[in-house]
Structure 1
Amino acid sequence: MTESEQSSAHPRPSRTINRNPDAMPPLAKAIPLGLQHIMAMFAGNVTPPIIIAGVIGASAGEQIFLIQVALFVAGVSTLIQTIGIGPIGARLPIVQGTSFGFLPVALPLAKAFGLPAVLGASFVAGLMQVVLGAFLKKIRHWFSPVVTGIVVLLIGITLMPVGLNYAAGGVGSEDFASPTNLALACFVLVVTIAVHQLGRGFIKASSILFGLVAGYLVAIALGKVDFTHLTDAGWFAVPKPLEYGMEFSLTAITGMVLIMFVVGLETIGNISAITTGGAGRAAKDRELSGGVMADGVATSFAAVFNTLPNTAYAQNVGLITLTGVVSRHVVTIGGLLLIAMGLFPKLGGLVAAMPHAVLGGAGIVMFGMIASAGLKIIQECELDQRAMLIIAVALSLGIGLPAVEAISETMPGQAGLLLKSGLVPAAVAALALDAVLPGKPSRQPPERRDATLTTSESANR
């Protein structure tokens, strides 16, 4: 066999950055590109464990541990997506991270039952998401854009008070809503907006991280940062599984499983956006199915390692579309960097020392963007009388029930907890109405819709 024949029989991996997810750029380019992905998702990944730590009254050491495991789990989960295990994994440049989507349900559950019940419910929800991925083609029609968009919109709306409470200094703090805390949060907000509007490339994509760093430095200058616990944190430690154990509550499992379906649909949207905007083609069935199953495996794995569910990060999808780098190997490098960061508790201690007001300034943007993403999804459907009726009922329940806590307090047993956030009854109402109301529009197959979108975009270019 000649050299050329050998080359054609065993083609070498591409060394160019192109629209092929299997392309392998040189390490000199791949490492900074992987680091760029970590910068884009870092703030979002560590914020949920900090919030949940505040709800359960975690000590400074426990907060450092929760940040450490969040980084470690995100790295491992990212590798499951990019490298894959059998049918599990999209084998696309998907960055996994701690999900904000579960917070509106996880927070009241953690307050009522404790973190072990949230972890047990997350473990079950992850297994259910694996099943969802396996049967994705058969049940995807249940979740129209109006249903998905309403739930994503309500996730953002529900989290907005959390961001503002942090901006004021954290509920229960002695200087809550002090001028210093509010000014610090506003400073982070202004820096984030300025960097987003004036920056380019990864700087624009990492605007929240820049806002946090700037706010952190100002807080240090003002003497509002306590590094006492940072000195107690170890330099190297392997995260311990089942540190908090697991408890299985039917109420907690019900709430987490319902939200899992919505988060799974977000993953479907992110995968489609990667292949359409980055690779210039529609997502394949095995990529969608494998990606959702990997999301489920990551969520159960996260529960074993004491942290909240994981999901595909949309900000990294935007980064891929912006840079045009679709190499999954670049994101694999980013996943390895996350694992390395998760092995050093000092880093978690550095993040845990960040004042709540700094985090709140970024939270105002992050949670508002979630609501904006929900509005964007709703725009995909025709806003006729049928769709507006579904939106009206779901929003009334989702926003009204948390505002009138007396209703949830009168519910028998633990059912009131599912009503307290408003998100679960709103999601159930949207699903039920969309299923039973006549006139549901027929949906294009995702492959055809994505292909049409790609063709129209090419024509515009």
Structure 2
Amino acid sequence: MALPAAVTRDQARDPDFFPGFGLAIPLGVQHVLAMFVSNLTPPIIIAGAAGFGFGSPDPSALIYMIQMSMLFAGIATLLQAVGVGPIGARLPLVQGTSFAYIPVMIPIVAGKGVEAMAALTTAALIGGLVHGILSMFVGRVRFALPPLITGLVVLMIGLSLMRIGVQYSAGGVPAIGTPAFGAGQSWLLAAVVVLATLGLKFFARGIWSTASVLLGLLAGYAVALAMGRISFDAVASAPVAMLPSPFHFGFALSASAILGFVLTGFVSSIESIGDVEAICEGTAGRPATDAELQGAVAADGVGTALAAVFGAMPNTTFSQNVGLIAITGMMSRHVVTLGAVFLILCGLVPKIGAVVTTIPIEVLGGGVIVMFGMVASAALSMLASVEWNQRNMLVFGVSLSLALGLQLEPDAVAHLPETARVLLTSGVLPAAVLAIVLNLMLPRETADEEPALVAAE
């Protein structure tokens, strides 16, 4: 959606500028459309891993999680855009449920049912509070997070999730998915979503292109409906309105879960720092201030803790919405505020969540393949600014090799304590920690390169 001529470039780059409801409302809804599917995917993945996801006899817990993901994404977005004291960057940052935590969350709940959600949400609450406290030190550690590190972290998030996309497209996680796992019918539905998404993205314009993933899912849904794969029983039985309930899943302390959330919170803050810097430098044409970075990370932590109290997933800034701002050129935080209000209203209507649960797992899989692939592609874009000398290649290569290898072969650390196994096989955490340590400790060049540099001088 292009800006009207009445809006000057300086106005569009001002976070405090309000373009009027006639433009702000459609731009705000466009932000919601751009993040809607990504925001709902993590709770669906976690519910599926726990065993109460798609196809379960009682979808009420999943419907609740979906509703809360919308409600608290809206509330966390308000924290970022409007701000409360030191909390919030006061920039047009859209918050949503975080993919970064999924590799840590899945082992916590895998096959354990809804009862495991108590330990997960409790860990998210504590991790969010620690995350908020750590925001006070963002300015001091900013030097340790160059594009080499942030790009690697985002790449590992994408790589860690790609297996889920394939599993969903084939019919769900084996043993708890559809009976005909890997059947041609399953891949047909996933292919419809992927092809429709690509077609709209490349050959359509405006909102049709921006919301291509959402529209691709609708195309796959329509095909599934024609095939008789959709049941609306859950929609009919869902209540008209739903309010969040404190500690909906209970309260349970798990040392490994808490440590995983605390460390992943640090990883999530790296992603948020990259988003803030991208929006300030790419749209406003200036570097981000320490106050903006600290406020953004603080809102991440507080938003995560608040969501966890009511049984929702952790929150973080959404990179796809940063890209949307770059496309529209409109940096008004008031646009995002209106989108947040729309999300909150959606979160209070359970019929919406019930409709989402009717989506066949294969249809969701097609969308997930596109989304997770784009996460990895965004990482490559971030890494393009890195100077790829031998030193940086070694830091990146060793960190990626060890982290991805342990994730692909978790039995390699089978004799370690449970907490260590969960953290070491998460993919994202070991990659981030090892890369940061190596980047800080290793000299700027290898021994072979030093003589050449001296001779050149």
TM-score by length of 2: 0.89
Q: Secondary structure of the residue that 1:414 maps to in structure 2?
A: helix
Instruction: Report the equivalent of 1:82.
Output: 81
CA apart distance, 1:152? 1.5
Kept after mapping to 2: 8 A contact 1:434/1:440: no
How far does the alpha carbon of each residue in 1:70-110 deviate from its partner, in whole angstroms, 9 at most, with x for none? 00000111111111101111111111111111111111122
Q: Does 1:120 align with 2:128?
A: no
Structure 2 stretches lacking a partner, 5+ long: 1-7, 53-57, 447-457
Q: 1:245 to 1:168 in 2, by over 3 A?
A: same
Q: Secondary structure of the residue that 1:100 maps to in structure 2?
A: coil
Q: Which amino acid aligns with 2:337?
A: T
Kept after mapping to 2: 8 A contact 1:205/1:315: no
Kept after mapping to 1: 8 A contact 2:153/2:271: no
How far does the alpha carbon of each residue in 1:100-136 deviate from its partner, in whole angstroms, 9 at most, with x for none? 1111111112227722222222222212222232111
Cα distance in structure 2, aligned partners of 1:77 and 1:264: 15
Instruction: Report the equivalent of 1:327.
Output: 332
Q: Does 1:422 align with 2:427?
A: yes
Instruction: Report the equivalent of 1:66.
Output: 65
Q: 1:393 to 1:169 in 2, by over 3 A?
A: same
Kept after mapping to 2: 8 A contact 1:298/1:310: yes
Q: Does 1:394 align with 2:399?
A: yes
Q: Which amino acid aligns with 2:215?
A: F
Instruction: Report the equivalent of 1:168.
Output: 170
Name whichever of 162-171 and 274-283 sits farther off: 274-283
Q: Does 1:38 align with 2:38?
A: no
Q: 1:143 to 1:273 in 2, by over 3 A?
A: closer
Residues matched between the structures, number: 427
Q: Which amino acid aligns with 2:50?
A: I
Name whichever of 37-46 and 405-414 sits farther off: 405-414
Out of 147, 151, 154, the residue aligned to residue 152 of structure 1 is 154
How far does the alpha carbon of each residue in 1:265-289 deviate from its partner, in whole angstroms, 9 at most, with x for none? 2211212222222223322222121
Cα distance in structure 2, aligned partners of 1:337 and 1:132: 30
Q: 1:344 to 1:389 in 2, by over 3 A?
A: same
Out of 4, 15, 29, the residue aligned to residue 21 of structure 1 is 15
Cα distance in structure 2, aligned partners of 1:116 and 1:143: 33
Kept after mapping to 2: 8 A contact 1:201/1:322: no
Cα distance in structure 2, aligned partners of 1:94 and 1:423: 23
TM-score by length of 1: 0.89
Out of 304, 307, 313, the residue aligned to residue 308 of structure 1 is 313
Q: Which amino acid aligns with 1:330?
A: V
Cα distance in structure 1, aligned partners of 2:149 and 2:125: 25
Q: 1:42 to 1:440 in 2, by over 3 A?
A: farther
Out of 273, 280, 304, the residue aligned to residue 278 of structure 2 is 273
Cα distance in structure 2, aligned partners of 1:326 and 1:265: 22
Q: 1:412 to 1:130 in 2, by over 3 A?
A: closer
Identity percentage over the alignment? 45
Q: Which amino acid aligns with 1:276?
A: E
CA apart distance, 1:439? 1.5
Q: 1:139 to 1:261 in 2, by over 3 A?
A: same
Give the superposed CA RMSD.
1.9
Cα distance in structure 2, aligned partners of 1:297 and 1:287: 15
Kept after mapping to 2: 8 A contact 1:73/1:305: no
